[in-house]
């Protein structure tokens, strides 16, 4: 075992971490926006929207991420980074849409009726009553969605995005020190996942009713 190789490749690893962080952050934001939008449209009760959004989630949930990624990269011909981001957003937004829909449904209709009967306007009911409760319900499942995004970014190495996984393979090819590299990179992934979990726990604590 030769851990010095990590120091030798510190620039590559730091670069890989930066790419992983960048792709993760952008994909998390994109997937949240698209997923919450699709989930809300699904909750509107319009038959057509419900069918369209259900098809969206069903189609995307039943295809492996790598199939979407290679489709966007090789068949559509997008550049590597946009293809990676689009694939990650498409993949995770399907799951986030389901989380959103479940969150909206968990805040029963009684809350809306009660708010309206108290004389609040509809938007006030949504803003003050439904939204805070939905967000509180959604935070724990969203945490695991975000950790999934971080983990799934490793797949983008397969189309040549120079993230952490890519650098591991690179180190393995150049020095045969795959074990040391994989150990370090796995710990880095856990660190990123830990930061995501920590951030979400902090949000959750802020949202708790005392």
Partner 1 sequence: MNVQVWIWRWLVTVVLGFGAWVTARLDWSRVAPSWEFLLLALGRSWWLALIAMAIGIVTAVPLALLRVYGTPWPRRLVALLIDAVRATPELMIIFWVYFTLPIVTGSQVSAWNAALGSLAVIASAYLAEVVRAGLYSVPDTQREAARALGLKSFAVFRLVVLPQALRNMLPALIAQLVSLFKTTSLVYAIGVMDFFRAVSVTNNAVYAPYPLYIVLAAGYFVSCWAITQVVRRCDPAYQLLD
Does 3 interact with partner 1 (rule: CB under 8 A)? no
CB atoms within 10 A of CB 108: 11
User: CB under 8 A: which stretch of 27-35, 116-124, 129-137, 185-193 binds partner 1?
Assistant: 185-193
CA torsion, ordered 72, 75, 79, 84, to nearest 10 deg: 20
- Give the number of residues in contact with partner 1, rule: CB under 8 A: 41
Helices assigned H by DSSP within 71-177 = 80-106, 109-117, 122-125, 131-152, 164-175
Cβ proximity of 43 and 35 under 8 Å: no
Which x/- pattern, by CB under 8 A, does the window 32-51 give for partner 1?
A: --------------xxx--x
Q: Is 199 left (phi over 0), alpha (psi -120 to 50) or beta?
A: alpha
Q: Which sign does the torsion angle of CA 57, 59, 64, 70 carry?
A: negative
The half-sphere exposure of 165 on its side-chain side, counting CA atoms within 13 A, is 14
Q: Which of 194, 208, 124, 175 is nearest to 12 (CA)?
A: 175
Nearer CB in complex with partner 1: 142/147:
147
Q: In angstroms, what is the minimal distance from the CB of 83 to partner 1?
A: 14
Q: Which of residues 8-27 bind partner 1 (CB under 8 A)?
A: none
Does 61 interact with partner 1 (rule: CB under 8 A)? yes
User: CB under 8 A: which stretch of 81-89, 121-129, 133-141, 186-194 binds partner 1?
Assistant: 186-194
Can you tell me the distance from the alpha carbon of 169 to that of 157, in angstroms, rounded to the nearest whole number?
A: 9
Q: In angstroms, what is the minimal distance from the CB of 4 to partner 1?
A: 16
Q: Which of residues 69-128 bind partner 1 (CB under 8 A)?
A: 70-71, 74-75
Q: In angstroms, what is the minimal distance from the CB of 61 to partner 1?
A: 8
| 29, 33, 44, 64: which one binds partner 1 (CB under 8 A) | 64
Q: Which of residues 144-163 bind partner 1 (CB under 8 A)?
A: 147, 150-155, 157-158
How far lies 54's CA from each of 50, 61, 137, 164, 176, in Å?
Answer: 6, 10, 21, 34, 47
Site residues, partner 1 (CB under 8 A)? 46-48, 51-52, 58-59, 61-67, 70-71, 74-75, 147, 150-155, 157-158, 165, 168-169, 172, 178-179, 182-183, 185-186, 189-190, 193-194
């Amino acid at each position: 075992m030769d851990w010095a190789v990590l120091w030798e490749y510190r620039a590559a690893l730091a670069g890989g971490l930066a790419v992983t962080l960048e792709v993760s952050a952008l994909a998390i934001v994109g997937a949240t926006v698209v997923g919450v939008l699709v989930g809300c449209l699904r909750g509107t009760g319009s038959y057509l929207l419900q069918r369209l959004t259900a098809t969206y989630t069903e189609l995307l949930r039943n295809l492996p991420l790598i199939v979407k990624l290679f489709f966007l990269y090789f068949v559509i011909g997008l550049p590597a980074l946009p293809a990676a981001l689009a694939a990650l957003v498409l993949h995770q937004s399907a799951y986030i849409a389901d989380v959103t829909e479940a969150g909206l449904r968990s805040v029963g209709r009684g809350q809306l009726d009660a708010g309206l009967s108290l004389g609040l306007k509809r938007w006030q009911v949504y803003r003050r009553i439904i939204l805070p409760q939905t967000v509180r319900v959604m935070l724990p499942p969203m945490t695991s969605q975000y950790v999934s995004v971080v983990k799934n970014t490793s797949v983008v190495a397969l189309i040549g995005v120079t993230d952490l996984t890519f650098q591991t393979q690179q180190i393995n090819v150049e020095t045969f020190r795959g074990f040391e590299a994989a150990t370090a990179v796995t710990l880095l992934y856990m660190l990123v996942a830990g930061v995501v979990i920590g951030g979400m726990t902090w949000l959750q604590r802020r949202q708790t009713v005392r």
